[in-house]
Structure 1
Amino acid sequence: MSETAHGLAPEELTNRLTEVFDLVGPLYRCTHRKVEQDVSTEGLSVGVRAVLSMLREHGPMTVPQMGRAQALSRQFVQRMVNDAAARGLVESAPNPAHKKSSLKQLTEQGQAAITAVIDRERAVLRQVDGDLTEAEVDACLRVLSRLLELMGNDDVD
């Protein structure tokens, strides 16, 4: 394996990053199926779960903000918000910065639903053996963040 002063040689780095993509796809699909299966008791889809999670993490947001944050189209996010609103999980609030684009926020029921889902997910993640170090997790986050930055989400909307 050849390395430059700054890391892997370009061709080797490309090969290794391809390995990352080859794992991320199945991981995403397996997680998607697991979340859909686990949240069925709340009747939440993965898309609604993502909306609730963003609002829990960031507070009130507009639909376009949520779309940009998740690299999803506004139309898809709007459908998920509409579904969540129909279930009483989110509500609209005035947006002082933009009269036509209201803020979406969790209701008490939405807060309870996403907390229950995240608690279950965290219980599953606790089952990971303790053989992963903080440095390894930091490196994983760095690589995935860098790839997301490289791929960008400019073309979403």
Structure 2
Amino acid sequence: MDNTPKSAADTLYEAIQLTRPLLRHITASVDAMSRDAGVSVGQRAVLEVMMPDRRLTGPQITEILQLKRQFVARMLSEAKFLELVQTEPNPAHVRAHFFKLTEKGFKAISLIRAREMALVQDFANQFTEAEISCHHRIQLGLTDWFANLGEQKEGEEPCG
């Protein structure tokens, strides 16, 4: 057996590889908690960015969530049909109206968030604040780094 210590890059690479199963498990858990409140995972994401009382356009929500415009439009349409969000006029742009939580939407996302936060708090008790802050910093860095890699033109050297 090779006893050569792993480099930080090797350990980080292994951690990145664990992201896919982690996201599958997170999505399944969030889906179960959201469905109990009558909301899909996609609708939940859209509702959450409007908490507690934000008025946002579809393009703003798309940018915040870093999702496809069509997907966000579909989630907003479904949420409006379910009376979870309402639209308000946008004086700056006639076609890009604002979306805002209804009372029903606020109650639904508040219930979901309360359940999730209780579970997250229980899990967080295993770690120090410094460990959690470090994880958060690395997660943000990875997200930004991979987003920038995806924006490079073909043949362009990464991180140059």
How far apart are residue 130 of structure 1 and its match?
A: 2.5
In structure 2, the residue corresponding to 1:100 is in which secondary structure? coil
| Identity score, percent | 33
Q: 1:73 to 1:129 in 2, by over 3 A?
A: closer
Cα displacement string for residues 89-128 of structure 1 (whole angstroms, at most 9, x for unaligned residues): 0011112332221111100110000000001111212322
Which residue of 2 is the match for residue 152 of structure 1? 147
Unaligned runs of 5+ in 1: 3-10
1:131, 1:34 → 2: CA distance?
20
**What is the alpha-carbon distance in structure 2 between the residues aligned to residue 37 and residue 127 of structure 1?**
18
Aligned twin of 2:66: 71
Aligned to 1:96: 91
Change (3 A) 1:60 1:129: closer
The residue number in structure 2 matching 1:16 is 11
8 A contact 2:52–2:106 mirrored in 1: no
Distance 1:76 1:67 in 2: 9
Map 1:1-157 → 2, pairs under 5 A = 12-56=7-51, 59-128=54-123, 130-152=125-147
> Which AA in structure 1 matches 2:54?
G
User: Which runs of 5 or more residues in structure 2 are unaligned?
Assistant: 152-160
Structure-1 separation of matches of 2:147 and 2:52? 21
> Looking at both structures, which has the greater relative contact order when contacts are Cα pairs under 8 Å and sequence separation is at least 6?
1
Change (3 A) 1:133 1:102: same
Q: Mark the CA change 1:74 to 1:129 in structure 2 (over 3 Å): closer, same or farther.
A: closer
Aligned length: 147
Could you tell me how far 1:13 is from its partner in structure 2?
Answer: 4.4
Change (3 A) 1:90 1:129: closer
User: Which structure would you say has the larger Rg?
Assistant: 2
Q: In the aligned structure 2, how far is the partner of 1:140 from the partner of 1:57?
A: 26
Change (3 A) 1:68 1:25: same
**CA drift at 1:64:** 1.3
Q: CA deviation at 1:38?
A: 1.6
**Partner-residue secondary structure (3-state), 2:19:** helix
- CA distance 1:129–1:111, shift in 2 (3 Å): closer
Structure 1 pair 132/83, CA: closer, same or farther in 2 (3 Å)? same
Q: 1:95 to 1:12 in 2, by over 3 A?
A: farther
